Amino acid sequence: MKLSTFRGGVWGVLRVHPAAGPGRRVTGLSPRCLPPVGPPTGRLFLRGAAATTGGGTNPKLASNFGKHSLKEDVPECDRSLREVVQSTREAMVTLLRRNPTIKPVLAIIQADEDDSALEINQKVAGMVGLNITHIYLTKECSEDEIVEEVLKLNEDPGVHGVCLQLPSSVLTSRVANALKPEKDVDGITDLNMGRLVRGDFSKGFVPPVASAVVDLLEKHDAPLEGKTVLLVGSEGPLGFALQCLIEGSGMVALKSQWSSASLQRQVMEANAVVLLGEGDIDVPPTWVRPGAAVIRCEDEMETSAKLGLRYLTAAYRIQNAVRSSSRWLQEQQYRPWQLRSLKLQTLTPVPSDIEISRAQTPKPVTQLAEEIGLLPGELEAYGRNKAKVRLSLLDRLHTQPDGNYVLVAGITPTPLGEGKSTVTIGLVQAFSAHLKLNSFACLRQPSQGPTFGVKGGAAGGGYAQVIPMEEFNLHLTGDIHAITAANNLVAAAVDARMLHEATQSDKALFNRLVPSVNGVRKFSPIQISRLQRLGINKTEPTSLSPQEVSRFVRLDLDPSKITWQRVVDTNDRFLRKITVGQASTEKGQIRETGFDIAVASEIMAILALADSLEDMKNRLARMVVGTSRRGQPVTAEDLGVSGALAVLMKDAIKPTLMQTLEGTPVFVHAGPFANIAHGNSSVLADKLALKLVGRDGFVVTEAGFGADIGMEKFFNIKCRASGLRPNVVVLVATVRALKMHGGGPNVSAGAPLPKEYIEENLSLVADGCRSNLRKQIQIAQLFGVPVVVALNVFKTDTLAEIDLVCQIAKECGASDAVPCHHWSQGGRGSVELAKAVKEAVSRPNNFQFLYNIEMPIVEKIRTIAQKVYGADDIELSPEAKAKVDYYNQQGFGSLPICMAKTHLSLSHMPDKKGAPTGFILPIRDVRASIGAGFIYPLVGTMSTMPGLPTRPCFYDIDLDPVTEEITGLF
């Protein structure tokens, strides 16, 4: 390996001595280590022309650079150096006053044996309190090796400036432009050079050499403003930089080559001459007019340059590094949005969802991220249209106040759905694209089961969609696939462990679980955790007694009490019950099990409720996969698999950024079932969005199914986990659903609507409003949150029906009720809803939970049944009672309740519409998701694996092999 590096942060001088071998021994270093880089700078010396044609040296200029102070290293009379150091020191003090924890660092990459330039940089850095870290490369290092070091420094948040102290032979364009422009304190990248040419100094950096030269020109005896400066020699980047700075300072810059026949005349006419490169070539003193300044810019890798300008160059480099630190700190602050909305051209009749989506060109996700204040390092792009957002954003904006928190819920839906997603998207389009208020939608990721089954996609609809809808509905960034892999790894671990325990002795199990590697046997960290839970406080494998070995190696899972099932993201009814272990290699370990759909996995619920990577890891470890024959719960951590699960889920925990049809931001993250789980998007997506929108912005998140299910779980489960409190509930209703609750005939997906739903019927509407709508408003009011009713208007709705719904909704306690036309008009059709929500958030909010978490499990279930569903009481089966007793015994009694019941009725009977009363709610079974953190009672039979209908959606989905366009999605 030709690359030899050492990283070390130092305040003082870094002394390096050659070692005996090819490597180098570095001494005198601070223990603090950081990665570094550094650009080569030109070394300068200044010579003044004589006052007469006889030549000689200008005494004043010579005195500036001929003597040294600071223990004979720094020129004692250099006014420029003192001024630059003083201003930089003041900037450093201001920087540390703003953030005392910041430690600005300049990294220098060096590829030669001469440390003089390093020592000069360190001395000047010491004057202002800047830390320097240093990387040595061998002279033979390759371009790839240098670029690798540069890229490491680019990603190191502890390094604020990088200097490449490299010979010109290896400082290629590729090396220079590998450096992030914001860390390029020598101004050598093409972008920074372009900024200089354009006169834009707000983001880029001026090469320190050029700054030093211009500084000296400006302080020359005779003022040079309006005078001519001749640049002789190379046409390289330094020449261009000098030309820009000289002309920007009010001087006239002319260029000439050493070979020019008119060089003597040009020198004699110039007020100052700057010599660029060309080794020892010089101009005769007799060519220089009296009082003119002559400056030579030599390659900084040469040792012949005078110390004075080397120190001044270093001072400007240090100044750039401090400026870079200040800019970095400023970048960490909250950024006001600069959102550019996309124009929406609505058509009548409204085209299909996929046609609308395809007609709009989304902004690049990197542009959207910049518009809403995300830093480039906080984004992980997945193609052009979507990106993961890193959780480090929460640390950066931890002091930023949250915005307003809006929950979209709904009345008890028809099997067709009532458009909560379209209302959510239409509302944020209205806020951001039309009212110019920051807003974020937070949506669940759809399962591919319903997408190819009967429901279709979940990207919204009409002119209120997330785009591209194909990417939203298919795969997205692979989170559901990660959940599938993690879930099935647990299932495989369960069956494998039972097989090995059934076929091996304690000693054989122990030898395989704790193998001897190179003669050393030791426990893994997760095995030590298991020993501690067992009360065995030993870390040396040979110290365990035979009884302790047996307890350690045997989980002793009861095959009849395995609760963990495999998952797949497809509607496959024939996987609901299967038999595994039938191959002869499984040695008779046959048992019945089954598959759930992937979004029903407890891992999905954990993803949605975790508030950090550490929290997710801990929740994964706590997942109970079954019960031992001794009646003890067995967890994923007992299986030794929880660390691997966290690895599989480490990217899935980051929300995915997308956009609406009008270019407003959306987070898509998690998609737990709303029956056996809580049915909300992730806590982390909401938290990130609340920081990004700012104090006066709005985050709109959606709860699955009706308010009695999704909203109740949002409040009692999600809000407990997140610590967040909503400001307002938007309750979505449709005329067709209200007619159904008012006594209309049943509807089913795929069948034509009965005439009651397409003709005006005020009686059915009124009855539905005074039953189901009233009850759902009352449920929201149980939690002390204002309610705005959003009537999702369909083309068959009449004006009289719309007015009647809004009137009765207000009579029932809604703070407002607004018809919404976002499906046909986009955000413009939800402007009145946005105004109503804005008004509602200003009203008093007396949020409270429905029950005390310490109440007994049965009492918590009873409270939900009576206050939310309207039941008279509950009735637990013997099996449910036994489970409640078991959970209490295991210490799970203080978990919140996640009721698993039908979403088609407030009761447990799907055909009972409106607001049923006088019923007893039967609790068939009680189960627990310990990792997710809730108990879920089963009301009736709940299917966790949907089946395909006679004619699934996939009949209409196809791909054009030429254009690669997808058809048939909706």
Catalytic residue list: 123, 165, 186
The label of the residue with tokens 């929500």 reads 837
- For 379, which DSSP code? E
CA dist 903 and 907 (Å) reads 9
As beta bridge partners, residue 184 has: 162
User: Do 128 and 315 contact (CB within 8 A), yes or no?
Assistant: no
- For 715, which DSSP code? I
185: its two tokens: 């304190």
The label of the residue with tokens 């024959």 reads 629
User: Do 385 and 658 contact (CB within 8 A), yes or no?
Assistant: yes
CA dist 805 and 733 (Å) reads 9
Residue 94 burial class via C-beta count within 10 angstroms: exposed 0-12, middle 13-18, buried 19 and up: exposed
- For 962, which DSSP code? T
CA dist 547 and 279 (Å) reads 82
Three-state DSSP class for 138? coil
**810 φ, ψ (degrees, to nearest 5):** -65, -40
CA dist 106 and 38 (Å) reads 8
CA dist 376 and 796 (Å) reads 47
Side chain identity at residue 238, one-letter code = L
CA dist 87 and 320 (Å) reads 12
Side chain identity at residue 104, one-letter code = P
Q: What is the C-alpha R_g of the chain?
A: 36
What residues contact 881, with CB distance under 8 A and at least 6 apart?
none
961: its two tokens: 């092999």
CA dist 467 and 358 (Å) reads 8
Q: How far is CA 270 from CA 52, 255, 292, in A?
A: 15, 11, 7
Q: How far is CA 49 from CA 58, 65, 67, in A?
A: 6, 15, 19
Residue 191: how many other CB atoms lie within 10 Å:
16
**What element of type H or E holds 178?**
helix 173-178
User: Do 164 and 175 contact (CB within 8 A), yes or no?
Assistant: yes
Closest CA to 9 of 117, 85, 122, 114: 122
Side chain identity at residue 392, one-letter code = S
Side chain identity at residue 553, one-letter code = V
Is the previous residue joined to 349 through a cis bond, with omega within 30 degrees of 0? yes
The label of the residue with tokens 């999605």 reads 969
As beta bridge partners, residue 367 has: none
User: Do 674 and 902 contact (CB within 8 A), yes or no?
Assistant: no
Strands 105-110 and 816-820: unpaired
Q: What is the 3-state secondary structure (H, E, C) of 473-508?
A: HCCCCCHHHHHHHHHHHHHHHHHHHHHHHHHCCHHH
Closest CA to 567 of 606, 594, 607, 605: 594
As beta bridge partners, residue 665 has: 659
What residues contact 432, with CB distance under 8 A and at least 6 apart?
339, 341, 438, 439, 662, 664, 665, 827
Q: Work out the end-to-end distance of the chain between its first and last CA atoms, rounded to an integer number of angstroms.
A: 56
